[in-house]
Structure 1
Amino acid sequence: MIAKIIYGETCTGTLNYIFGKEGMRILGYGNTFSQSISPRFFGNVLHFQGQRNATKNRYAHISLNLPHGEHLDNRTFYRISKEYMENMGFGEQPYVVVRHNDTKHEHVHIVTTIVKEDGKVLPIFNSHKRSMATRQYLEKKYGLSQAPTTKQKSQLPIYRLPEKQFGMDAEKGTKFYLQDVLNSINQKYKVRSFEELARLIKPYHIEIRQIKSESGRIGVAYGLNNQKGYQTRFINGSAVHRGLSGPKLQKVFDAHSKSKLLPMHRKRLLKQIETTYDLFHTIDPHGLEDILKEYQGIDIKLDKKGDAIEGYTVFDKSRYVFRTRELGKNVRMQNRLDIFGNGDEPTTIDIESKQFKLEIQKMIKEALITSYLQSPKQQGLLSEHILKTNFGNIVPSLTASKKHYFLERYIPKSQKTEFRKALENAFPMVRDRLYEIETKKEKEILENKFKLIGKVLKKGMFDVGIEKGSVRLLFQSLGVKYHNNQLSFANSNKHTVPVPLGRLPFPEHMEKYVSSGFVRQNHLMLEMLSEQSSQKSPKLTATAMFLPMVFPKLYEKMNPVYKKQYESVALGSYVKNVERMHAPFEKSPKDYIALFNAKGFYFIKGDKGFEVKSVYTDNRTSCPLPNRTSQYLSSTPDLTEALKEQQPVINGLVNDGRNNLENLWAGNLMERGMYDKVAFMLTAKKVYPNLHREMVQHHMDNGLRKTLQGAITRKSSIQQNRVLRRGIYAISSLSGDRGKKQEEVFNGFKDELTDWSKYKREGISF
């Protein structure tokens, strides 16, 4: 199901459209004194309530669309619409649900107002994100097909044409259709002229007529051709929408045309396309779309006149649209007949070209790095790995790469052997050059670590003085070690920096492997606390929250002043990074609070807005939320009660001993789809994830249950099976209420992984 929301200042045209459609059916009204009122009466009610506030986005037009072939009866579609409105916060507003049957896919239109009876405005913060979560919730509840979550091609879908008749006026759907298409085009592309706009809207059967008055004022009118060869009368742009008038559009076009970034985008595209041409010996014009998309990530559309290809239009990621004549003479097909003028010859790569040799070198470089990163045990530095790697070692990484697949597809069969030889011949030179680059980079990194350690010790961030011998904790957290008055990387002795500290005891357990990701996050965190970081530095991720779990002895010795700074920054980074994980489940501000509560985070309201705290940090530590998020949470109905409801959840986690970062880490692994590691933590370490039951249920359905099934199958002893079953029970307790009754049901399991339905009433919701 696809849900779409449009906010506007008026509702008359929208109501005329949805009520004027032939074959329309009113499924019901929401929050009106009767279901027997007329459309005109409802329009008056909605109009007068919306006019009680001067906000521009007074009215909301929502459409719920099913995919082709999916059917719902009127009663079910109305029930889904009601639930959608309730979850979106419109449940107490007057609204109408109208079903149309003018397209192949079934859909309803809902019109309402965000202005309440008292003249105040409903908060519509994050409404599109909430709509996504509500849509996914309803899809699952009613067994509907899921809407695609991946981005589609840059070309807009062809909108449905309203049913038109000769002489139709704007009130019968034409105006609404024009608004829909024109607004979508102007949002998707940075249009620079009326001529360009005319080309972009031509597939939607819309024509533009420009009018210039005696005073020089530019006007514009839009006409619509229907399927029967008739044409609607031209409608003035300002009558279609205030933002679609000639002067308003001209202002926008001028701003886009004068942008300082425009020449940069044009130059980049020109280089990318010329590079593509340099790689090929011949190109079949019909295959250019796929080649540019796969090789350079450029979206184009061929300009055809009949069967002849006249050129192509580029739909750039910058939202600008370019024709080939704007980019340069060298990229026009007519000027490159050496590539495009070879009749029916297939597309082939020129293996003698300079660009091909460069691609070979890039591919080998990527394979060398990939083979290092994917090795089960990364022994030594990248430079050391490069030095001892031969061509045969990287062949699996080479053949698995997308670039290899792309090149091999367009190399003639007779030249496959030469392709392999070219790779082998280029390998020594690429390896030696990459070795030099990485060696220089590693030396700089080690020196930077040395300088950072000095600054951390000088500022006294940690109580790890040399005399106590615990400075080794700081070394380990930064991925370095100390030996014989020299500092080197923890996994290599290749590079050293002299550091005369004397003899320091290093227990064997300090040499254990620490993930490079955690070392990197710790380095970034210490740089920030020591004020060495810059705006160009990589940003902290949610992983920063778990540094005390990975380096417990070091963070136990952290200076309280810096610890408070760290906890505040880590809280902010975690919340910012994890919000996107919650998006599919967050239907309201209450959900926002509940999803974080389940993870051990809670919110307090202060004079300057909301702050977030956690059970994993000092109670005095907090992080302010952005102003927009504070406004979003403030829109929660019965906010005081909602904040009070946090306490039992947070207290429950603390009382159960789940105020440990390992519990949060288990939930983080589950969200990232690392189900094997989650199963290990549940069974071997008996660590249960802190995660909302709805999210737990989602991951159980998404593969976690299957992973646990596989784990049980692999185990042979009765004792190991019992441990795994307890882990599964722990998961079930997260997705339902816990209690004695539930434990009794668990003890009676006979087939825990095949039939969950008989236990649902007892509180286990798998």
Structure 2
Amino acid sequence: MIAKIIYGRTCRGTMNYVLGKEGMQVLGYGNTFSQDITPKFFGSLLHFQGQRNATKNRYAHISLNLPHNEHVDDKTFFEISKEYMEKMGYGEQPYMVTRHSDTKHEHVHIVTTNVNDKGQLLSLYNSKRRSMATTSYLESKYGLEPTPRTKKENELPIFRLPELKTENDDTQGTRYYIQDVLNRILQKHKVRSFGELARLVKPYHIEIRKTQSTSGRVGVAFGLDNRQGYRTRFINGSQVHRQMSGPKLQKVFDGHKRSKLLPMHRKRLLKQIETTYNLFRTIRPHDLKEVLKEYQGMDIALDIKLDTIDGYTIYDKSGYVLRERELGKHLMMQERLDIFGNGDAWTEINIHSKQFQLEKEKLIREAIQNSHLKSRRQKGLLSEHIGTLRFTDIVPILMESKEHRFLEKYMSGEQIHTFRKNLKENFPQIQQRIHETETRREKEALQGKFDLIGDIVRKGVFDVGTTDGSVRHLFQALGVRYQNNKLLFADSDKYSVPVPLGHLPLPKNMEEHVLDGFVRQNHLMMEMLIKQEADNKSKQTAISFFLPMVFPGLFERMNTDYKQRYESLALGAYLKHAERMHASFEKSSKDYITFFNAKGFYFEKGENGFIVKSIYTGINSSYPIPKRTSLYLSSIPDLGTTLKQQHLVLENLIKTRRNNLKNLWAGHLMELGQYDRVAYMLTDESAYPNLYPEIVRYHMDKGLRKTIQERTTKKSAIQQNRLLRKGVHAIGSLLDKPTGNQEEGYNGFKDELTDYSKRKKNRGISF
């Protein structure tokens, strides 16, 4: 089911459209004193309430569209409409549901107002995202065919028309076809003129007629002509759709032309095409499309007139459509006869060009780096790996490279032999150059870690010392180690920095080797705390929040002030990630809070807006919610009650000892689709994901259930029963629907395996 929402200043035109269709049927009304009122009376009621606020988005016109060949009866469609309005925040607004039968797909129109009975505007934040989540929920509840949630790269279908039709055929199907094609093209491309739009819609038999009044007002009309006896009369753009009128389209075109990003995209494309020309000696005009796609990842279409190639059009990934002449006259095929004017000569790379030499060096450099990444343990530094390489070690990687295959595709047999021979000859020089560069970079990196450690110790970020060896925790968390009065990389003895600390004992419970990703995030976080670099803040990911789980020996010694600053930064990084993960499930602003509560996060409202806190961080640690999100949460009708109810879920997480980062990490991995690792944590480590049941159910159906079953079948019969009980049964309890308040939704965990409250005093939480 697809929902479309249009906001407007008036409702008269919408009411006339909705009620003026032949075969129209009013299914019912919402929040009116009676179901026996007339549409005319409802229109007056709607107009009166909407006029109580001067906003331009007073009214909303919503259509709910089922896929082709799917049918629901009137009563069910009305119930679906009511539930959609409730989830979208229109539950207390007056609205009318009307069913139309003028298209092949069944659909209803809902007309309402965004102004409540107090004259205040409803919250319209995240309406598109919430609408997608709501329709997905309704599809599941009512057994409707799911709507694809990802964009398809397929081309628009070419319109196939009958050969014989009357001259003035103007059916609703024609109007909807034009609307559909224009809609999708304008979403896919950043069109800058009517002429450009005409070229884009021409393959779909749509013609455009542009007009201009004496006052300068631009008009536009659309028609169909397949040149085979089928032609419709032209329809004004405003009749096709209210957003397709001449002035509104012109406004969109002007915005795209004035974009500050357009010159940047032109410059990038110019560089890509110049690089391609510099690489080739000859290019057959018909091969240019394939060459640019393989070499630069560019999409172009050759402009062919009367079997003659008259240039090309670039369909850029930015959405802009550019002709070759817009990038520069020197790029036009007619101006580059040295490349394109060689008759039927094969497309061939210029093996003597400077660009070809650069490509050879790039091939070897990437092969060397990939050989390090693909090595079994990746032990040692890249410079050490480079020093042990022979050319034969990278040959398999070179042969698998698509860049290598691309170059050889446009060479003769003799050139390929020479090319491979040159790669082998050039390998030692390139290897030495890369080795020198990496050596210099690694030395600077070790010195940078030493300087950072000095700043951390001087400023007292952590309470670490040498007597108990706890400073080793700091070394390990930054990817270095201490040995014989020297600081070295954790996995290499190649470089060192003198650090005269004498004998430094190993602390108890020293963590084992940790992944480089956690070390990098910790390094960035420490630089943020010490230097407060804005660039590093943008590089923080959700992993930052789990650093205390990875480096417990270090973070338990963190200074209180710095810990609060760290937790605030980590909360902000995790918040951004979680918002993206929740987006496809979030039907309302109340869902936003509910999903975070299930993860162990809660919200408080202050004078300057909302802040977020968690059961994993200190009671004084918080992160300020962006203003737009604060306004979004403020739209919850029973906000006070919703905020008070948060403690029911949170206290239960604490009571069942799920207030640790391991359970949040299990949920994090589940959201990322790493089901193998999640299955291991569920079955072998007794970790239960802190996620909302609806989200858990989604991942179970998507593949987690199968992964758990596959893992448990590898165990013995006794182990299998135990693991199934701890894994699958635990997940099943998450999916139980609450029968009362929110706390009861988690009672499934209160069994002998998980109810630790009998043995350990519960930790409380303040609000």
Equivalent residue, structure 1, for 2:708: 708
Measure how far apart 1:680 and its partner are: 1.5
CA–CA separation in structure 2 for the residues paired with 1:285 and 1:151: 32
CA–CA separation in structure 1 for the residues paired with 2:497 and 2:472: 15
Measure how far apart 1:440 and its partner are: 1.6
Equivalent residue, structure 2, for 1:224: 222
Q: Taking structure 1 as reference, are residues 638 and 409 closer, same or farther at Cα in structure 2, changes over 3 Å only?
A: farther
Equivalent residue, structure 2, for 1:763: none
Q: Taking structure 1 as reference, are residues 297 and 173 closer, same or farther at Cα in structure 2, changes over 3 Å only?
A: same
Equivalent residue, structure 2, for 1:631: 631
Q: Over residues 395-439 of structure 1, what are the superposed CA-to-partner deviations in whole Å (9 max), with x where a residue is unaligned? A: 554455554565566667887666655654554444333222222
Which residue identity is paired with 2:450?
F
Equivalent residue, structure 1, for 2:212: 211
Q: Taking structure 1 as reference, are residues 84 and 345 closer, same or farther at Cα in structure 2, changes over 3 Å only?
A: farther
Equivalent residue, structure 2, for 1:689: 689
Which residue identity is paired with 2:223?
N
Question: Does residue 431 in structure 1 map to residue 431 in structure 2?
Answer: yes
Question: Does residue 728 in structure 1 map to residue 728 in structure 2?
Answer: yes
Q: Taking structure 1 as reference, are residues 250 and 670 closer, same or farther at Cα in structure 2, changes over 3 Å only?
A: closer
User: 1:567 aligns to what SS in structure 2?
Assistant: helix
Question: Does residue 584 in structure 1 map to residue 584 in structure 2?
Answer: yes
Q: Taking structure 1 as reference, are residues 285 and 394 closer, same or farther at Cα in structure 2, changes over 3 Å only?
A: same
User: For the Cα contact (< 8 Å) 2:590–2:636, is it kept in 1?
Assistant: yes
User: For the Cα contact (< 8 Å) 1:597–1:650, is it kept in 2?
Assistant: yes
User: 1:585 aligns to what SS in structure 2?
Assistant: coil
Q: Over residues 70-117 of structure 1, what are the superposed CA-to-partner deviations in whole Å (9 max), with x where a residue is unaligned? A: 555555444433332222122333334444555555444333221223
Which residue identity is paired with 2:578?
V
User: For the Cα contact (< 8 Å) 1:220–1:236, is it kept in 2?
Assistant: no
Which residue identity is paired with 2:328?
G
Q: Taking structure 1 as reference, are residues 441 and 14 closer, same or farther at Cα in structure 2, changes over 3 Å only?
A: farther
User: 2:111 aligns to what SS in structure 1?
Assistant: strand
Q: Over residues 203-230 of structure 1, what are the superposed CA-to-partner deviations in whole Å (9 max), with x where a residue is unaligned? A: 68363535374xxx63211122245534
CA–CA separation in structure 1 for the residues paired with 2:53 and 2:362: 60
CA–CA separation in structure 2 for the residues paired with 1:594 and 1:34: 34
Equivalent residue, structure 1, for 2:757: none
Q: Taking structure 1 as reference, are residues 250 and 711 closer, same or farther at Cα in structure 2, changes over 3 Å only?
A: closer
Q: Over residues 275-304 of structure 1, what are the superposed CA-to-partner deviations in whole Å (9 max), with x where a residue is unaligned? A: 233445665656655543453233434444
Q: Taking structure 1 as reference, are residues 728 and 403 closer, same or farther at Cα in structure 2, changes over 3 Å only?
A: farther
Equivalent residue, structure 2, for 1:754: none
Equivalent residue, structure 2, for 1:747: none
Q: Taking structure 1 as reference, are residues 132 and 91 closer, same or farther at Cα in structure 2, changes over 3 Å only?
A: same
CA–CA separation in structure 2 for the residues paired with 1:70 and 1:426: 64
Worse-superposed segment, 382-391 or 634-643: 382-391
Question: Which ranges in structure 1 are unaligned for 5 or more consecutive residues?
Answer: 745-766
User: 1:691 aligns to what SS in structure 2?
Assistant: coil
Measure how far apart 1:603 and its partner are: 0.9
Q: Taking structure 1 as reference, are residues 137 and 627 closer, same or farther at Cα in structure 2, changes over 3 Å only?
A: same
Measure how far apart 1:156 and its partner are: 8.0
CA–CA separation in structure 2 for the residues paired with 1:304 and 1:68: 37
CA–CA separation in structure 2 for the residues paired with 1:158 and 1:13: 32
Measure how far apart 1:379 and its partner are: 0.5
The residue correspondences of 1:671-682 to structure 2 (distance < 5 A) are 671-682=671-682
Question: How many pairs does the alignment contain?
Answer: 737
Worse-superposed segment, 174-183 or 708-717: 174-183
Equivalent residue, structure 2, for 1:314: 314
CA–CA separation in structure 2 for the residues paired with 1:726 and 1:493: 44
The residue correspondences of 1:448-467 to structure 2 (distance < 5 A) are 448-467=448-467
CA–CA separation in structure 2 for the residues paired with 1:346 and 1:361: 25
User: For the Cα contact (< 8 Å) 1:602–1:612, is it kept in 2?
Assistant: yes
Worse-superposed segment, 201-210 or 631-640: 201-210
Which residue identity is paired with 1:729?
H
Which residue identity is paired with 1:480?
V
User: 1:714 aligns to what SS in structure 2?
Assistant: coil
Worse-superposed segment, 322-331 or 196-205: 196-205
Measure how far apart 1:549 and its partner are: 0.8
Which residue identity is paired with 2:696?
V
Which residue identity is paired with 2:212?
I
Equivalent residue, structure 2, for 1:558: 558
User: For the Cα contact (< 8 Å) 2:212–2:218, is it kept in 1?
Assistant: yes
Equivalent residue, structure 2, for 1:662: 662
Measure how far apart 1:30 and its partner are: 3.5
CA–CA separation in structure 2 for the residues paired with 1:492 and 1:177: 65
User: 1:311 aligns to what SS in structure 2?
Assistant: strand
Which residue identity is paired with 1:209?
K
User: 1:544 aligns to what SS in structure 2?
Assistant: helix
Worse-superposed segment, 49-58 or 734-743: 734-743
Equivalent residue, structure 2, for 1:14: 14
The residue correspondences of 1:80-91 to structure 2 (distance < 5 A) are 80-91=80-91
CA–CA separation in structure 2 for the residues paired with 1:242 and 1:616: 49
**Scaled by the length of structure 1, what TM-score is found?**
0.85
Measure how far apart 1:10 and its partner are: 2.6
Equivalent residue, structure 2, for 1:147: 147
Equivalent residue, structure 2, for 1:485: 485
Worse-superposed segment, 409-418 or 9-18: 409-418
User: For the Cα contact (< 8 Å) 2:169–2:231, is it kept in 1?
Assistant: no
CA–CA separation in structure 2 for the residues paired with 1:437 and 1:145: 57
User: 2:464 aligns to what SS in structure 1?
Assistant: coil
Q: Taking structure 1 as reference, are residues 621 and 672 closer, same or farther at Cα in structure 2, changes over 3 Å only?
A: same
User: For the Cα contact (< 8 Å) 1:78–1:97, is it kept in 2?
Assistant: yes
User: 2:689 aligns to what SS in structure 1?
Assistant: coil
Measure how far apart 1:472 and its partner are: 1.4
The residue correspondences of 1:56-205 to structure 2 (distance < 5 A) are 56-68=56-68, 70-153=70-153, 166=168, 192-193=192-193, 195-196=195-196, 199=199, 205=206
Measure how far apart 1:678 and its partner are: 1.3
Which residue identity is paired with 2:210?
R
User: For the Cα contact (< 8 Å) 2:8–2:56, is it kept in 1?
Assistant: yes
User: For the Cα contact (< 8 Å) 1:311–1:332, is it kept in 2?
Assistant: yes
Which residue identity is paired with 2:231?
G
User: For the Cα contact (< 8 Å) 1:181–1:201, is it kept in 2?
Assistant: yes
Equivalent residue, structure 2, for 1:614: 614
CA–CA separation in structure 1 for the residues paired with 2:206 and 2:697: 46
Measure how far apart 1:738 and its partner are: 5.4
- Between the two proteins, what is the percent identity of the paired residues? 60
Q: Taking structure 1 as reference, are residues 436 and 23 closer, same or farther at Cα in structure 2, changes over 3 Å only?
A: farther
The residue correspondences of 1:535-554 to structure 2 (distance < 5 A) are 535=535, 539-554=539-554
Q: Taking structure 1 as reference, are residues 193 and 593 closer, same or farther at Cα in structure 2, changes over 3 Å only?
A: same
Measure how far apart 1:669 and its partner are: 1.1
Question: Does residue 530 in structure 1 map to residue 527 in structure 2?
Answer: no
Q: Over residues 360-400 of structure 1, what are the superposed CA-to-partner deviations in whole Å (9 max), with x where a residue is unaligned? A: 43333333323323444221112212222334444554455
Which residue identity is paired with 1:221?
G
CA–CA separation in structure 1 for the residues paired with 2:657 and 2:156: 52
Which residue identity is paired with 1:454?
G
Equivalent residue, structure 1, for 2:594: 594
Which residue identity is paired with 1:381?
L
User: For the Cα contact (< 8 Å) 2:302–2:313, is it kept in 1?
Assistant: yes
User: For the Cα contact (< 8 Å) 2:60–2:114, is it kept in 1?
Assistant: yes
Equivalent residue, structure 1, for 2:494: 494
User: 2:121 aligns to what SS in structure 1?
Assistant: coil
Output the aligned Cα RMSD.
3.9
Equivalent residue, structure 1, for 2:273: 273
Measure how far apart 1:610 and its partner are: 1.1
User: For the Cα contact (< 8 Å) 2:468–2:506, is it kept in 1?
Assistant: no
Measure how far apart 1:742 and its partner are: 10
Q: Taking structure 1 as reference, are residues 608 and 57 closer, same or farther at Cα in structure 2, changes over 3 Å only?
A: same
User: 2:124 aligns to what SS in structure 1?
Assistant: coil
